[in-house]
Structure 1
Amino acid sequence: MENPENTTQNTVSTVSQDTKNLALLLWLGTIFFGFIPSLVLYLVKKDDAYLLDQSREALNWSITVVLGMLAGFLLAIILIGILVIWVVAICNLVFCIMGVIATSSGKPFRVPFALRLIK
């Protein structure tokens, strides 16, 4: 009899420490510089699958934040936009910190409310 645990293979890929550090800096840079760090790493680091995935996720989140801020500025005419701007800014800070925490241990991070425009 074969043990069912032996027939399944765990395909957990190990992520190098350099890749974890770059992904951590990517999410940290997204807080301060918006979409620029994610766009640079997305265009430069095509050979690393984990870093490409995280830069794509951070870029999608940055685009979502820009669209949310734009909507907030447009709605500022009727005063509800100020609330929208605050909510988007707080969500940006919280989700980027969650990204920093997840990527520091090498786990893939997905923002729940991001528009997936870049696949």
Structure 2
Amino acid sequence: MKANKSMVTAAIVWLLSVFFSILSGLLFLIFKREDAFIQQQAKEALNWGITLWLTVLVVSLFGSKFLFTLLGAIHLVFCLFGMVSCLKGKAYQVPINLRLIK
């Protein structure tokens, strides 16, 4: 099981990703290099943020309010799943994520 501080910090990465999708993962990736669990979750959150914004670009071509609402709901659910998983000490991987940052 991961140290309690690491679990909470990784959960904060996911919580902040709800509001700052790319920025939170990037900041924790840069400033929390000493902890492998936080690094792993920061990369996952950053990859999800990139995937989200690429999807937003594609959805904007269609201009559908329904698709934007659906995408927002999916984003919220994945971030909450990530936060809860980290608080349990388990690494979370978004199922439909482009893993651009290794």
Q: TM-score range by the shorter chain?
A: over 0.9
Instruction: Give distance in 1, aligned partners of 2:68 and 2:99.
Output: 21
Contact 1:42 / 1:56 at 8 angstroms: preserved in 2?
Answer: yes
- Aligned positions, number: 102
Mark the runs of 5 or more structure 2 residues left unpaired by the alignment: none
Asked which structure has the greater CA Rg, the reply is 1
Query: 2:73 matched to which residue of 1?
Result: 90
Contact 1:30 / 1:58 at 8 angstroms: preserved in 2?
Answer: yes
Superposition misfits of 4+ residues, deviation over 3 angstroms? none
When normalised by structure 2's length, the TM-score is 0.94
Query: 2:50 matched to which residue of 1?
Result: 63
Is residue 14 of structure 2 the alignment partner of residue 27 of structure 1? yes
Counterparts of 1:44-59 in structure 2, within 5 Å, are 44-59=31-46
* 3-state secondary structure, aligned to 1:111: coil
Q: How much is the aligned-residue C-alpha RMSD, in angstroms?
A: 1.0
Query: 2:89 matched to which residue of 1?
Result: 106
When normalised by structure 1's length, the TM-score is 0.81
State the identity %: 33
> Following TM superposition, by how much is the alpha carbon of 1:82 offset from its aligned partner in structure 2, in angstroms?
2.4
Is residue 11 of structure 2 the alignment partner of residue 17 of structure 1? no
The structure, 1 or 2, with the larger RCO (C-alpha pairs under 8 Å, 6+ apart) is 2
Contact 2:21 / 2:45 at 8 angstroms: preserved in 1?
Answer: no
Counterparts of 1:72-91 in structure 2, within 5 Å, are 72-76=59-63, 81-91=64-74
Contact 1:39 / 1:59 at 8 angstroms: preserved in 2?
Answer: yes
